[in-house]
Amino acid sequence: MTWDWGAVADFMPKFWDGLLLTLQILALGSLISFALGLVWALLMRTPSRLVRWPVGAVTEFIRNTPLLVQLFFLFYVLPEWGVTASALTTGVFAIGLHYSTYTMQVYRAGIEAVPAGQWEAATALNLPVTRTWRVVILPQAIRRVVPALGNYVIAMLKDTPILMTITVMEMLGEARLFAQQNFQFTEPLTVIGVAFILIAYPASLLVRALERRLVR
C-alpha cells in the first residue's frame, strides 16, 4: 500500500471547492426539508381526508423509494415535461423533498408530544386555531424536534454525494474527477471519507448535547 502526500496536496484546492458546494447543498436542502416537512405535517392534521390521504400516500412513497432514482427522475423527466433547471437546483430540490418526508414525521411526533391540556387551555381561552398553532403548539413542538431535525441534517450531509451522479461537483464529484485524471484513487477518496467523519462526528455530539438540553 502506498500513500502519496503529493497527491493529497494536489487534491486539496479541489477538495475545498467540493466542501463549499457540499455545505451549500446541505444548507439549502435543509431549509427546503424543514419548510416542506412542516407543510406536510400540518396538512396531515387537517380534518379533510381528501387532503390527508394524498399527502400521506405521496410522502410515504417518496420516503420508501431511493433518493438516487428520484434524482434521476427529476433530472431526466422534468426536461421532457418542459421544466428545465440546473443539475444543482434539481439536486438540492430532490434532497430537500426526500428529507421533508422524514422531517414531517419528526414534526408530527413533536406536535403529538404537546400535552392535550395545552389544546384545552387554548380552547378555554377561545384562541383562534391559527393563533393556537402559532403561539402555543408549534413553539413547544419545535423545541422538542430540534435535535431530531439535527439528526436528519447529518443524514442529509451523508446523502449529498449522490448528487455527483447528476454531475454536481460536490466533494465526491471532485474526488472522482481528480482520481480519473491522475489515476490516484486512494488519496482523494480517503481524504473526503475522513472529511465526512470530521464533520459528522462533532455534529452528532452537538445534536446529542442539544437533545439533553432541550428535550428533557
In one-letter notation, the amino acid at residue 116 is A
Distance from C-alpha of 158 to C-alpha of 22, rounded to nearest angstrom = 10
The one among 160, 166, 169, 178 contacting another protein by CB under 8 A: 160
167 is a site residue for another protein (CB under 8 A): no
Contact 169, 178 (CB under 8 A): no
The one among 18, 91, 96, 150 contacting another protein by CB under 8 A: 150
Residues 50-109 that bind another protein (CB under 8 A): 61, 64-70, 72-73, 76-77, 80-81, 99, 102, 105-106, 108-109
Determine the interface stretch with another protein among 26-34, 39-47, 84-92, 162-170 (rule: CB under 8 A).
162-170
213 is a site residue for another protein (CB under 8 A): no
185 is a site residue for another protein (CB under 8 A): yes
**Apex 60 CA angle, 157 and 92, nearest 5:** 30
The one among 48, 49, 84, 126 contacting another protein by CB under 8 A: 126
The residues near 92 (Cβ < 8 Å, ≥ 6 apart) are: 25, 28, 29, 32
48: left (phi over 0), alpha (psi -120 to 50) or beta: beta
